[in-house]
Amino acid sequence: MKISTKIAFSSLLAFGLATATVNFPFPQNSDYGGTATLLSDKATAASQLKQGFEWWKTAFYNESGDIAGVRSNEGSNEYFSEGVGYGMLLMVYFSDNTTSYQAQFDKLWNFYKKFENKNGLMIWKIGNMSESWDAGNGAALDGDIDAAAALIMAAYQFGDTKYLDEARTLIKAMKNAEFESNGLHMPGDAWGDAAYNRKNPGYFDPAYMPLFAAVDTDNSTFWSNTAYDANMKLYEASSNEVSTGLIDDWTDKNGKSEDDWYSYDASRAPWRNAKAVCWHGDQRALALDKKMAAWVANIPASSMSGAVIRSSGQLGGDHNSTFVTSLMTALISDPSYQSKLDEYWAEAVNLGNENYFNQSLKLLNGLLVSGNMPNLTAGSLTPIGPGPAALPRPVASTSSFHFANNTVSVNLNGQSKVELLDLQGRVVRTLWNGIANGSVSLSVSTQPGIYLVRIQGQGVTETHKVAVK
């Protein structure tokens, strides 16, 4: 049965938009419910991030009428779809009680739509804000996936359901053109047969899968189970190849390394997995970051540089915020890395303002580790500071619980979380974390044994014992 998702919006719309206030003003300084180790001094980090964002906005954000692009470098007139995705996320999370960046967000989204190809996805590279650079008009998944997530967050930050409708359209377009039926991602929509065997794990984001499942209800199981599991296996296979745990830039369809480099493509992987830990308590993502963190913790932040040879851990010559802050995010995985996490952020700040990619990664990773990139759809979050009330959330999770053939079937109503626990109460895997209204079927893939299934909503917790075969 399909899930029908309804998000209730109150009179917040008229009031919120008229006063240009936002629901989750920066800085949030969230602790993500205790799922991760974060920076010791969040207040100072927030100030440093705001300064870095102001410079980023001046150097790279470029408006022309009702559209805006993110320059590939200062003074450049080339623009990547990934920059649009980064920019949209930054406009959502840096909006505060004095400045809403909704207008800038909308112009970036207009830019994305202006250069959509036949598949409804933005052409990956644009020149002079007016022409396609790529004769094939192909898209790139990394830009598309962040733009879709940013649209969902914008609905909650700015209080307008139109963003959910736009997100749903984009998510469906990605599924149709950038994912295989088995759930594996394709790097873009114009790769031909090569897309079925060349994978870029850092393009995939496990943190977004529950959000996509809640918005694209026609394909909820595809996002929450099929795509999540297939691409996490890519991450895990790549990590398991080497003692460093570093993810490869490119792999084959089974996660086998193509070149043994942790470089600029793979540099998004620790952030994407750390986000899944912070937002959902994702244990598979946590295991990936833990393995990387054990290697990172032995390297001074002042020495960290890339590209890194994964098998040996040999460092490259690029000492910049891409490598410092991307690997910093792996350190959220254990409290024992607190001082090392603080050291890495201090080094990133010392590096000062950098080029487009490095500065974008610094801001995104910094937002996460400072508690300023919360999942705005989560029912447990409430806004801080003055402004309109939080968006109303559906309130409860109720179950008509059934377990057979290693599949949990349950009725969910509203913001809900379903977790698989061992008998000691430790989370083995998050099966669902999102908004639902109807029957959900969740596959349980783990070692045989006796487990607990915990179902949580606002004010409701149920636990059921199951035998996984």
Residue ranges per domain, the chain? 12-369, 402-468
Whole-number Å distance between alpha carbons of 341 and 353: 20
Q: What is the pLDDT of residue 298?
A: 98
Element (H, E) at 416: strand 407-421
Contact in structure between 277 and 271 (CB atoms under 8 Å):
no
What fold characterizes domain 12-369? Glycosyltransferase (1.50.10)
Confidence (pTM): 0.80
Q: What does each C-alpha distance from 75 to 67, 126, 320 come to in angstroms? A: 17, 15, 20
Q: What is the CATH number of domain 402-468?
A: 2.60.40.3080
Question: What's the confidence (pLDDT) of residue 409?
Answer: 85
Domains 12-369 and 402-468 equal at CATH topology level: no
Cα-Cα-Cα-Cα dihedral of 394, 397, 399, 402, to 10°?
A: 110
pLDDT score of 135: 63
Q: Which neighbouring-strand residues pair with 199? A: 251
Per-residue pLDDT tens digits of the chain, which is 469 residues long: 222 333 333 333 333 333 448 999 999 999 988 889 999 999 999 999 999 999 999 999 999 999 999 999 999 999 999 999 999 999 999 999 999 999 999 999 999 999 999 999 999 999 999 887 766 789 999 999 999 999 999 999 998 989 999 999 999 999 999 999 999 999 999 999 999 999 999 999 999 999 999 899 899 999 999 999 999 999 999 999 999 999 999 999 999 999 999 999 999 999 999 999 999 899 999 999 999 999 999 999 999 999 999 999 999 999 999 999 999 999 999 999 999 999 999 999 999 999 999 999 999 999 999 999 999 987 533 332 223 333 333 333 445 788 888 888 888 766 678 888 887 777 888 888 776 667 778 888 788 888 888 887 655 677 788 888 8
Q: What is the pLDDT of residue 21?
A: 80
Query: Is 263 strand, coil or helix?
Result: coil
Q: How far is CA 334 from the centre of its chain?
A: 20
**277: closest CA among 30, 32, 28, 24?**
32
Pick from 103, 18, 73, 81: nearest CA to 388: 18
- State how far the Cα of 128 lies from the Cα of 426, in Å rounded to an integer: 53
Strands annotated E in 223-380? 261-262, 308-309
